């Protein structure tokens, strides 16, 4: 399925009219910018001048997501990705928040994606960390903003360079879509972790169409709520267009045992699954 | 452009590669070092053009590529190609990453052999191996049928992508699909769509020289190996890497490992890997096998433990594999290529039916 989407991206101009290949030419510049950025030692008020990722798009991001709110660049929030995106449709992202109490919400966005907003995560009974895969149009900063109970947004991130490669290029073989018959199907498993916690990994069958490829309207998973056996919410995700097709999500819950995963997509199709240890 | 000395990389590489030099000395009647030095005085080495060939057995030569990723500096010349002399002209194994490379390769073959090229075999559908085909439009160029189909389908994309990585060395390069080898291997021409038969082989005779063509797979959907019966030289294509981490964008690890077992069973005296130095023993196959098994086992274990991709990428390779060139990069790429399918098998379907 990813292959099919890749063909679309290549032939129809992808996200916004520029091809995925053309985008790779900015990689060297972006990497240079990333290399020039010094790691933060302590939180600093966020501005164009203090941006550790030196992204010209930061002011736009700040206005769009945090207008009128307090925002700091904070080294306690980290985004881990391979430096180079082997497949621009499948960039593995890992988010960590360490040493920051009372994180109520995570917001993920990519400055240079035509649709910057990636996902929101509400880890009420979970660690403020997660892993997923992302579609990128070109080299871009990927940021995680952690909102603490005092209303302050703590922002961390890193650059990913979107380069392909001769041997490295995935095949553009088409394959039969499984979305017709298995849409919303969840494959999931829970792993026991110390202190009564657990790792939940789930894969949801869904095309996650961005609406930017000609003739294919927006269609993606919207909310996913993870609850315990008694119906208490443990964590909630809201996904947006840039999350890779057939999303694979990893979260760390402060709970072990029966889980219910309930959600819907942008057309109201239900997602419903149960997981036990 | 004024004559320039060849890039130091080539001289250094030939100077320090003692094992390869010793091997060459064992099989060649003329010293390859002398050949290379003579060549260096008369030719200009443009980035990405085929280097001077090295003789590795009687009438068998190879062009050695850098053990690097594609870059503007190396112009895409990261691949080993080769040729076998016959009374009717040379048989080329892989045409390299660009028109420039293919033209230089053909010219150097004419210089060395005094004859033109009679036939070209393409081992598989990765762009560093077939994009020199344009230099051979008047020569039969052949490959396994699935290789032909992939080049027909993806050739443009692969070419554009390589342009972006290596730049001007690709100038003028457009993909040319080979003709399918008839009746051999996965979906041979007479039986398109039939299931692959690993190890199908046929022997062709060209200019008095018998070459065994062996249809394998695993690095890609179809990988051709060429075995020269006279000198027992095996051109293994990218089924074998040596001292350079293997690439896996289209790999099937289990099929690849089975192919390695078939190659190891051949009575070869010289083995030319797709990337890395030539060997005379089982070291290259053993190293490729060890790396692939490590990848497979590490990814399988990680999926069973519930790790996500970036966590898996932080796994360090065992000591014996750490000397491989571009190891870290290739390992990260392999996680991205192979982990999704492996983790999928670790996640049971939980939606009620």
Tell me, what's the pLDDT at A179? 77
Are B308 and A166 in contact (CB < 8 Å)? Answer: no
Q: Tell me how far apart the alpha carbons of residues B223 and A138 are, in angstroms, rounded to a whole number.
A: 32
Structure tokens at B329: 């990069």
pLDDT score, position B198: 77
pLDDT in tens, A94-141: 999 999 999 999 999 999 999 999 999 999 999 999 999 999 988 999
Tokens 């041997």 found at: A167
Scanning A1-40 for CB atoms below 8 A from B yields 10, 21, 24-25
Reduced to 3 states (helix: H, G, I; strand: E, B; else coil), residue B202 is: strand
> Quick one: average pLDDT of B168-196?
74
Among A10, A86, A165, whose Cβ lies nearest the Cβ of B70?
A165
Percent of chain B, pLDDT > 70?
83
What's the DSSP call for residue B233?
Answer: E
d(CA A6, CA A8): 5
Residue of B nearest to A185 (CA): B351
The string of pLDDT tens digits covering residues B23-46 is 333 333 333 333 333 344 334 568
Please indicate if any CB of chain A lies within 8 Å of the CB of B1.
no
Q: What is the pLDDT of residue B10?
A: 33
On whether any CB of chain A is under 8 Å from the CB of B353, the answer is no
Strand ranges for chain A from DSSP E: 44-45, 71-73, 77-80, 91-97, 103-110, 117-122, 126-134, 140-148, 153-160, 186-192, 198-204, 221-228, 233-239, 248-253, 259-265, 270-275
Which residue in chain B is spatially nearest to A21 when comparing CA positions? B161
Q: Across all residues in chain A, what is the average pLDDT?
A: 83
Rounded to whole angstroms, the Cα distance separating B4 from A43 reads 53
User: How far are the Cα atoms of B1, B20, B23, B24, B132 from residue B38, in angstroms, in the given order?
Assistant: 20, 19, 20, 17, 25
Are residues B242 and B284 in contact, defined by beta-carbon separation less than 8 angstroms? yes
How far the first Cα of chain A sits from its last, in Å, is 30
- Residue A214, pLDDT above cutoff 80: no
Establish if A272 touches chain B: CB-CB under 8 angstroms.
yes
Per-residue model confidence (pLDDT) at position A211: 87
How sure is the predictor about B8, in pLDDT bands with cuts at 50, 70 and 90?
A: very low
Window 85-114 of A: residues touching B by CB (8 A cutoff) are 86-87, 90, 92-94
Q: How far is CA A65 from CA A116, A129, A134, B307, in A?
A: 10, 20, 19, 31
Q: Max alpha carbon distance in chain B (Å)?
A: 73
Structure-block tokens of residue B169: 């060395």
Question: Are B340 and A90 a contacting pair at CB < 8 A?
Answer: yes
Q: List beta partners, residue B233.
A: B228, B270
What confidence tens digit (pLDDT) does each residue in B264-320 have?
999 999 999 999 999 999 999 999 999 999 999 999 999 999 999 999 999 999 999
**CA dist., res. B172 & res. B100, Å (int):** 8
Closest residue of chain B to A188, computed from CA coordinates: B347
Q: Which of B249, B306, B351 sits opposite A168 (nearest CB)?
A: B249
CA distance to partner chain A, nearest, from residue B331 (Å): 11
- A175 close contact with B: CB closer than 8 A: no
Cβ-defined contact of A171 to B154 (cutoff 8 Å): yes
The pTM for the full model equals: 0.84
Q: Residue B45 and residue B61: Cα distance in Å, rounded? A: 18
The DSSP 8-state label assigned to residue A267 in this structure reads T
Distance CA B128, CA A277 (A): 48
ipTM: 0.84
User: Over pLDDT 90: what percentage of chain A?
Assistant: 69
CA distance A167 to chain B (A): 6
C-alpha angle with apex A67: A61 to A69, nearest 5 degrees? 115
- Could you tell me the pLDDT band of residue B66, with boundaries at 50, 70 and 90? very high
Segments in chain B forming alpha helices (H)? 8-16, 18-27, 32-42, 99-113, 127-130, 145-166, 253-264, 283-304, 309-313, 327-344
The 10 Å Cβ neighbour count of residue A211 is 14
CB pairs under 8 A between A and B: 129
d(CA B285, CA B282): 6
Q: Do A273 and B348 touch (CB under 8 A)?
A: no
């Amino acid at each position: 399925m990813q292959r099919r989407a890749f063909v679309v991206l290549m032939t129809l101009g992808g996200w916004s009219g520029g091809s995925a290949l053309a985008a790779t030419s900015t990689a060297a510049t972006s990497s240079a910018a990333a290399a020039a950025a010094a790691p933060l030692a302590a939180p600093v008020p966020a501005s164009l001048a203090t941006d550790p990722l030196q992204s010209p798009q930061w002011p736009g991001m700040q206005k769009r997501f945090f207008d009128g709110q307090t925002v700091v660049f904070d080294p306690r929030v980290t985004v881990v990705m391979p430096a180079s995106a082997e497949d621009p449709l499948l960039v593995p992202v890992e988010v960590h928040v360490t040493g920051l109490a009372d994180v109520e919400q995570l917001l993920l966005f990519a400055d240079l994606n035509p649709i910057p907003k990636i996902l929101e995560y509400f880890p009420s009974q979970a660690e403020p960390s997660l892993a997923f895969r992302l579609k990128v149009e070109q080299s871009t900063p990927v940021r995680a903003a952690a909102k603490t109970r005092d209303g302050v947004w703590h922002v961390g991130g890193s650059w990913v360079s979107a380069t392909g490669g001769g041997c490295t290029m995935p095949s553009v073989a088409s394959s039969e879509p499984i979305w017709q018959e298995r849409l919303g199907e969840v494959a999931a498993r829970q792993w026991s972790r110390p202190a009564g916690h657990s790792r939940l990994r789930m894969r949801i069958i869904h095309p996650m169409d961005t609406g930017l490829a000609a003739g294919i309207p927006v269609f993606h998973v919207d909310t996913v709520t993870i609850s315990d056996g008694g119906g208490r919410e443990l964590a909630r995700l809201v996904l947006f267009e840039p999350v890779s097709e057939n999303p694979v999500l990893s979260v760390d819950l402060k709970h072990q045992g029966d889980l219910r995963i309930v959600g819907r997509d942008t057309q109201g199709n239900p997602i419903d699954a149960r997981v036990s240890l | 452009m004024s004559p320039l000395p060849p890039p130091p990389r080539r001289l250094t590489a030939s100077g320090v590669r003692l094992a390869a030099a010793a091997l060459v000395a064992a099989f060649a009647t003329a010293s390859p070092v002398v050949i290379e030095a003579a060549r260096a005085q008369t030719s200009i080495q443009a980035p990405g053009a085929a280097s001077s060939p090295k003789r590795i057995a009687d009438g068998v030569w190879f062009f050695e590529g850098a053990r690097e990723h594609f870059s503007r500096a190396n112009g895409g010349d990261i691949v080993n190609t080769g040729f076998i002399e016959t009374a009717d002209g040379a048989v080329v194994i892989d045409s390299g990453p660009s028109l420039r490379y293919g033209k230089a390769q053909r010219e150097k073959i004419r210089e060395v052999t005094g004859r033109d090229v009679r036939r070209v075999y393409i081992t598989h559908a990765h762009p560093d191996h077939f994009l020199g085909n344009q230099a051979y439009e008047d020569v039969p160029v052949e490959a396994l049928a699935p290789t032909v189909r992939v080049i027909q389908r993806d050739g443009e994309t692969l070419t554009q992508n390589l342009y972006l990585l290596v730049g001007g060395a690709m100038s003028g390069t457009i993909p040319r699909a080979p003709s399918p080898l008839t009746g051999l291997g996965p979906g041979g021409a007479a039986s398109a769509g039939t299931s692959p038969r690993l190890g199908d082989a046929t022997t062709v005779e060209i200019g008095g020289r018998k070459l065994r063509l062996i249809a394998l797979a695993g690095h890609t959907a179809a990988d051709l190996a060429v075995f020269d019966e006279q000198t027992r030289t095996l051109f293994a294509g990218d089924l074998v890497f040596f001292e350079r981490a293997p690439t896996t964008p289209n790999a099937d690890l289990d099929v690849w490992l089975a192919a390695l077992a078939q190659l190891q069973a051949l009575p070869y005296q010289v083995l030319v890997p797709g990337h890395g130095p030539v060997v005379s023993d089982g070291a290259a196959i053993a190293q490729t096998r060890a790396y692939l098994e490590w990848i497979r086992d590490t990814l399988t274990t990680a999926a069973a433990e519930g790790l996500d991709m970036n966590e898996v990428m932080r796994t360090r390779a065992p000591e014996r594999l750490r000397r491989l060139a571009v190891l870290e990069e290739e390992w990260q790429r392999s996680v991205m290529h192979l982990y999704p399918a492996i983790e999928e098998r670790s996640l049971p379907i939980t939606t009620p039916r």
